[in-house]
Amino acid sequence: MRKLLTGGAIIIAVILVLLGLKTYLVQAQDNQQHSDKVLDFYNWGDYIDPDLLVKFTKETGYQVNYNTFDSNEAMFTKIKQGGTSYDLTVPSDYTVNKMIQANLLEPLDYNRLVGMNNYYPRLLNQTFDPQNRYSIPYFWGTLGILYNKKVISASSVAHWNNLWDSKFKDQILLVDSARDILGMTLVSQAKSMNDQSTADLAAAQGKLTSLMPNVKAIVADELKMYMAQGEANIGITYSGEAAQAMAKNPDLAYQVPSEGSNEWFDNFVIPRNARHKDAAYAFINFMNQPQNAAQNAKYIGYATPNQKAYELLPKSVQNNRQFYPSQVTLDKLEVYQNLGQKWTEKYNDAFLEFKMTKR
Amino acid sequence: MLVNKNKFSFTRLTFYSTYGLWLLLFVIAPLMLLLWQSLVGSDGHLTLQNYQTFFVSGTYLTMAFNSVWYAFIITAVTLLISYPAAYIINSLKYKQFWLLLIILPTWINLLLKTYAFIGILAKTGPINQLAESLGLGTHQLLFSDWSFIIVAAYIEIPFMILPIFNSLTDIDPVLEQASRDLGANRWQTLKNVIWPLSLPGVKSGIQAVFIPSLSLFMVTRLIGGNRVITLGTAIEQHFLVTQNWQFGSTIGVVLIIAMVITMLLTREK
């Protein structure tokens, strides 16, 4: 008993000492940073060139606290709980819409924004945030087919319907996402990715179930690693993930079926409870500058919505139809609408039932 | 004795109140919250709707059956490997050292171990390279039921070996000698003396393995490639993707009930 108490007392003492030390260090750091010259940036992991953060601090004096999340839902929940305040975060399209509806975002003051006409007008004013009242695009991309050039010819995976070909038995990796996989099936049936008809969804689920013999596995972020390792020959995934896999394995190629697919956007938004809004505006303006956006696009490998930045990129990147698709394909791309709770669940239930299918 | 009790009453009080507070905050309160969530419908009223959805849905019942079935297989495989291992370790000279070696992998994060297995089982991994050099050809090892069961069993083995080993060490070696002296052979001794005496360890081992196996979910995706779907997968989906916490909680409560049943079936009499 005595030992237990002494042990407990030692643990508590250590905790108190560490806590005191932490408070002291944080204060010291705050003094150094003049406390309000900070930007609390909440972004996806490894989703900005770190050199740019250094450059931003040098130019503006704002110290960047970079925090990361790994899913829109996790980020949404954390912002909604409101325990920690962030000045800037990067939700995807449908989450921007959800955050607007939940009243979590600060409307943007366009008088404080510089360089907004650097952006492609085509990529602005999307349905998830009309007139970009709350959000500014950071990167955009597509959903498509990543394949191994050595084994698969480009023409044999040019269309979504090709995936159902029996010669691809046990070859395909699917991304574990109801919207994307059912969406791709809906497009293959000439329907919208935002379809809200029970009959269409049931038909899509039926068609998807018949894809099961060709499906090797349904995985998440690991998909890019499996593809790079050569574990499978075909993967259905996002352009950004595909770019990372292709950087590791030159045998891989990516294409967007011309009949249509999803077009996604990751966007800067300022949460309502942000404490350093000046810093947030300073950062958005910094990233609006073409040379910074171009440097970031080169580092991340995703498509930049900044037209002036695009013009600064090497010709090989500019003409890369894998990541900057042709106008014909672009016209067919659809952005996900926020379907609301009921339909989100319908899509997910259908996908769960598909996953339960035995081979 | 009485004096002693009074002397320690203050310490006892602090001990019990700390422990009680801990239980209340971190065990009872979360369970109550889970139960409460599961009883709330999408309109915010108290209802059994979620449970009805669960029990009339073929999908979720199949999934529940799958979870129990896979947990059963994992537990059986783990037990099959662990009992002989614990028995052998117990008869070795430096048994604490060997035990430490078995326990060592639990110091490593579960996810890291799983990723290591991806490397081992991959098409370009060492197992396939070996098979290739022996002329057996490359095989698809990942994303199969067996790879899932092997990795899950590997992860759970220390939790099975430890209680079995403890109950084996507690058995007085004199009993074994007596059994042999009285004419029983090695096998008879094991079956009639050692096994019954080590049963409590086996039971707690089964509890320690079966219960977490019911709700495994990362391994089902990373190694099983979502070919194995358990209730853990559904809980993850409802909390993270559809954000239907009510239904996620319902599945959680069903799992807890399954665990309570397991505890009752394997409890000490």
pLDDT digits (tens, 9 = 90+) for B223-252: 999 988 889 889 988 888 888 889 999 999
Helix intervals (H) in chain B: 2-7, 9-23, 29-38, 49-56, 58-91, 95-103, 110-121, 126-133, 145-170, 173-181, 186-189, 195-214, 218-222, 231-240, 245-265
Query: In this structure, are residues B48 and B39 in contact, taking their beta carbons and an 8 Å threshold?
Result: yes
| Closest C-alpha among A88, A125, A83 to residue A105 | A88
Give the 3-state secondary structure of residue A88.
strand
Separation in Å, CA A7 to CA A1, A3, A18, B5, B129 = 10, 6, 17, 22, 51
Q: Find all residues with CB under 8 Å of A44, minimum gap 6, and list them.
A: A68, A69, A70, A90, A266
- On chain B, the residues whose CB falls within 8 A of the CB of A148 are none
- On chain A, the residues whose CB falls within 8 A of the CB of B10 are none
Candidates A231, A344, A352; nearest CB to B142: A231
The domains of chain A, with CATH numbers, are 35-140+264-318 (3.40.190.10), 160-255+324-355 (3.40.190.10)
Between chains, do A231 and B11 touch, taking CB under 8 Å as contact? no
Would an 8 Å CB–CB cutoff place A81 in contact with chain B?
no
Residue of A nearest to B237 (CA): A348
> What is the reported pLDDT for B15?
87
- How near does any CA of chain B get to the CA of A178, in Å? 9
Would an 8 Å CB–CB cutoff place A73 in contact with chain B?
yes
Candidates B59, B62, B143; nearest CB to A217: B143
Query: In this structure, are residues B138 and B131 in contact, taking their beta carbons and an 8 Å threshold?
Result: yes
- pLDDT over 80 (residue B8): no
Between chains, do B244 and A356 touch, taking CB under 8 Å as contact? no
Residue A170 zone, left/alpha/beta (φ > 0; ψ -120 to 50; rest): left
Query: In this structure, are residues B92 and B98 in contact, taking their beta carbons and an 8 Å threshold?
Result: yes
What backbone phi and psi angles, to 5 degrees, belong to A306? -90, 110
- pLDDT over 80 (residue B5): no
Candidates A229, A230, A348; nearest CB to B242: A348
According to DSSP, the residues that pair with A42 across neighbouring strands are A67, A89
Between chains, do B242 and A344 touch, taking CB under 8 Å as contact? yes
Average pLDDT, chain B: 90
Give the integer Cα–Cα distance in Å for A343 and B260: 35
Q: Find all residues with CB under 8 Å of A136, minimum gap 6, and list them.
A: A108, A113, A116, A119, A267, A268, A284, A288
According to DSSP, the residues that pair with A105 across neighbouring strands are A271
Q: Find all residues with CB under 8 Å of A37, minimum gap 6, and list them.
A: A61, A62, A63, A279
Question: Between A and B, how many residue pairs show a Cβ–Cβ distance under 8 A?
Answer: 73
Candidates B226, B240, B244; nearest CB to A71: B240
Q: Encode chain A (359 residues) as per-residue pLDDT tens digits.
A: 677 788 888 888 888 998 888 888 877 765 655 567 899 999 998 899 999 999 999 999 999 999 999 888 889 989 998 878 999 999 999 999 999 999 999 999 999 999 999 999 999 999 999 999 999 999 999 999 999 999 999 999 999 999 999 999 999 999 999 999 999 999 999 999 999 999 999 999 999 999 999 999 999 889 999 999 999 999 999 998 899 899 999 999 999 999 999 999 999 999 999 999 999 999 999 999 999 999 999 888 889 999 999 999 999 889 988 899 988 889 999 999 999 889 999 999 999 999 998 76
According to DSSP, the residues that pair with A252 across neighbouring strands are A148
Between chains, do B243 and A73 touch, taking CB under 8 Å as contact? yes
Give the integer Cα–Cα distance in Å for A275 and A271: 9
DSSP state of B226: T
Pair of tokens at residue B237: 């989906």
> What is the reported pLDDT for A45?
87
Helix or strand holding residue A67 (H, E): strand A63-69
| Per-residue pLDDT reduced to its tens digit, B79-119 | 999 999 999 999 999 999 999 998 898 999 999 999 999 99
For chain B, give the number of residues.
269
Sign of CA dihedral A185, A191, A193, A197: negative
Largest CA distance in chain B: 78
- How near does any CA of chain A get to the CA of B45, in Å? 17
- On chain B, the residues whose CB falls within 8 A of the CB of A355 are 226, 229, 233
Relative orientation angle of helices B95-103 and B58-91, to the nearest 10 degrees: 160
Optimal mutation site among B60, B233, B241, interface A, most CBs of chain A within 10 A: B241
Q: Are β-strands A63-69 and A135-148 bridged in parallel, bridged antiparallel, or unpaired?
A: unpaired
- On chain A, the residues whose CB falls within 8 A of the CB of B233 are 352, 355
Rg, C-alpha atoms of chain A: 23
Q: Which residues of B touch chain A, with CB atoms under 8 Å apart?
A: 8, 11, 15, 42, 59, 62-63, 118, 122-124, 140, 142-143, 221-222, 224-227, 229, 233-234, 237, 240-244
Give the integer Cα–Cα distance in Å for A331 and A258: 9
Residue of A nearest to B64 (CA): A356
> What is the reported pLDDT for B1?
46
Give the integer Cα–Cα distance in Å for B142 and B221: 11
Q: Find all residues with CB under 8 Å of A139, minimum gap 6, and list them.
A: A240, A265, A266, A297, A300, A302, A303, A304, A305
- On chain A, the residues whose CB falls within 8 A of the CB of B62 are 356
Residue of B nearest to A2 (CA): B11
**Structure-token match 């079926």, residue found:** A257
Give CA torsion, residues B51, B52, B57, B63, to 10 deg. 20
- How near does any CA of chain B get to the CA of A23, in Å? 26
Give the 3-state secondary structure of residue B52.
helix
Domain B58-265, what fold?
Answer: MetI-like fold (1.10.3720)
Residue of B nearest to A170 (CA): B140
Task: Parse chain B into domains and list their residue ranges.
Answer: 58-265
| Per-residue pLDDT reduced to its tens digit, B39-76 | 988 777 889 999 999 999 889 999 999 999 999 999 99
